[in-house]
Chains A and B, each alone.
Chain A
Amino acid sequence: MEPFRRHTGIVVPLDRSHVDTDQIMPKQFLKRIERTGYGEFLFFHWRYRPDGRPDPTFELNGPAYQGATILATGRNFGCGSSREHAVWGLKDYGFRVLIAPSFADIFFHNCIQNGLLPAVVTEEAARAIIDRARTQPGWRLTVDLERQILSDEADLYIEFHIDPQARERLLNGWDDIDLTLLREDRIRAYERRRPKWLPRVSQPSGT
């Protein structure tokens, strides 16, 4: 995975709380077996009207927000279904950073696995960022993961929070599977002491 250090981009505001992954990536697009190409389906039912034309009232469709790479939103973003397709869609659309007062647990983890930075800020800071992005369309923000700072060319300067371990992984672009396979000895040792009664599907005791 590509390391994440610093990023500057246009902020698009999505002033809603508890945005669930069913909205981020609706179920009809989960039937694909690929990992790429989900960007065009992102927020599908909010982005497009039933006749297929873009809904001009939806933030992502605003002309000034085209090319946005930072999404600022309300708390508990990404709640609901565990579908990683939601993160694949956000990344494929071009997002590199999400800013919110909180993220749902599974979604947060899926972001880290894909190099997408979920930056946690206070409710007040999220409000300030959303307001600025809304009143100054095209407004750009710089996200510095090493220093954990959000700043713009004017006076905005906000510290954000991220779990230190998640930060480390994003900074280094580490892949979890590689990290784990280095621990093969420990895994084998654990397997030797697992109780015998635990179920194994290749040897059902009943049939």
Chain B
Amino acid sequence: MAPKTLFEKVWEAHVVDEADGRALLYVDLHLVHEVTSPQAFEGLRLTGRRVRRPDLTVATVDHNVPTESRPSPILDAIARRQVEALRENCEIFGVTYFGIESDRQGIVHVIGPELGLTQPGMVIVCGDSHTSTHGAFGALAFGIGTSDVEHVLATQCIWMKKPKTMEIRVEGQLPRGVTAKDLILGIIGRIGVDGAVGHVVEYTGSAIRALSMEGRMTVCNMSIEAGARAGMIAPDATTFAYLESRPFAPRGREWERALAYWQSLPTDPGAAYNKTVVIDAGTMEPYVTWGTRPDQVAPITGRVPDPASLARPEDRAAAERALQYMGLEPGTPIQEIWVDRVFIGSCTNARIEDLRAAAAVVRGRRVHPRVRAMVVPGSTQVKRQAEAEGLDRIFKEAGFEWRESGCSMCLGMNPDILRPGERCASTSNRNFEGRQGPGGRTHLVSPLMAAAAAIAGRFVDIRTWDWDE
């Protein structure tokens, strides 16, 4: 048999039918949240259709929910109506719903893995572009629009044209203080925000193997920021150790059977990708975005670029716009950029390991008096775990706000937003104009770098600091 990639194996295992150059794929898990689902449920109602597999569908609220202490009412009437609509829809259609009061509530891309719902070899979809996160387990996971949400609810399948494959091989070792977040920012900086359009990316190499599951999720999460259809990492001992004994993971003999299958998934030697990019992990540095696209990055030791120095006219125009929006002058050292806010959270970087890393930097230090800093755990489980480990005390004693879980200031659909002109060091995934609030200025960084920026009041090179890893 011809050697196959991880992606090809998962793809082929899910083809229900083929027509006109597209495949109808079976969906093993459909994650649903309040923002992209109401019109889909409405579509079902209008056509008299049912949810085909409520047992493969899980809903939670994350985008709109306030992160002030709970229980707290949703004061925004339109947001409240949307959250209420999801609860009602789940009730009517028989879908499992982890509401704001549930101890399983959280950002969809955090709760799927932590409940063990996300497993190797699955096809996972959600009406959210960061569904690529679940690819860290060797699942084929991608975001879909609301029409497709309706389609999956009604049929448990999705039509897709087979994407191309792209290998991003990262060899060597990430230096101390350089995290999975820096790696993916470095990769996006290298290949551009459309560098992977039309492709499913598989991350391979020794530096990827060395990452924890949390680190792998951070990398796969931001695949969409390079335009990829999905990001994947082959399952291995790290994956299996993470999964074992999670609530929805298989047990006993089922575990053994599943394990045997999962071990057959990694890409065969000699399998071909349409494209390969090789990255030397040792050359990676802590990165900070300076513009309004995730590929507009500079190393912490670098400077804000001069648009005139960019080769393509279109990049020059974009950089000029970006610098104007960001209120930055060309040539400014990144370490001389001051911040007003720090946000540690989002589906990219709000898992327990991210909070541990940030807390290790914060321990025994104080948030800079000019800075307002907040930590928003990725799920209610992460919050409890962090509190059990005393991380909340470290953050609070340093002057951080310690919040309830949700998407929060990653996209500012709830009350957590930047004011116009405010500058934020953020562990989230998008620095688009207005993303964290109209006129807000976002710099994407790792949790270590965000924590250090909160203390120093500006961006600093975490590699020059002492902290207990």
Contacts and interface: CB of A to CB of B under 8 A. Distances in A.
Mutual binders A and B: yes
Interface string A17-28: 110101100111
Contact of B147 (A32, A33, A113): A113
Nearest to A203: B55
State the main secondary structure of chain A at its contact with B: loop
B145 A79 contact: no
Contacts of A20: 293, 430, 432
Contacts of A26: 434, 438
Contact of B247 (A84, A177, A204): A204
Contacts of B58: 201
Interface string B245-280: 111111100110110010000000000000000000
Which bracket fits the contact residues of A?
35 or more
A200 B247 CA distance: 11
B21 A164 contact: yes
Residue from B142, B194, B249 having most chain A Cβ neighbours under 10 A: B194
Interface stretch (A56-64, A145-153, A189-197): A189-197
A191 B469 CA distance: 46
Given A17-B318, A113-B145, A113-B148, A201 B82 contact: no
B334 to A, nearest CB: 22
Nearest to B19: A179
Interface stretch (B153-161, B346-354, B371-379, B385-393): B153-161
A180 B20 contact: no
A45 B434 contact: yes
Interface string A63-93: 0000000000011100111111101000000
Contact of B55 (A87, A105, A201): A201
Given A35-B39, A196-B254, A177 B150 contact: yes
A82 B229 CA distance: 11
A199 B117 contact: yes
Contact of A82 (B38, B129, B412): B129
B328 to A, nearest CB: 19
Nearest to A206: B247
A177 B155 CA distance: 7
Nearest to B116: A199
- Top 5 closest A-B pairs, CB basis? A206-B247, A84-B145, A33-B38, A113-B147, A110-B145
Interface of B: 16-17, 19-22, 24, 26, 28-29, 35-36, 38-39, 42, 47, 49, 54-58, 63-64, 76, 78-79, 81-82, 85, 96, 116-117, 119, 122, 127-129, 142-148, 150-151, 154-157, 159, 161, 163, 193-194, 197-198, 224-225, 227, 229, 245-251, 254-255, 257-258, 261, 293, 314, 317-318, 321, 411-413, 420, 430, 432-435, 438-439
Interface of A: 16-18, 20, 22-23, 26-28, 30-35, 45, 50, 74-76, 79-85, 87, 102, 104-106, 109-110, 113-114, 163-165, 168, 176-177, 179-181, 183, 186-187, 190-191, 194-207
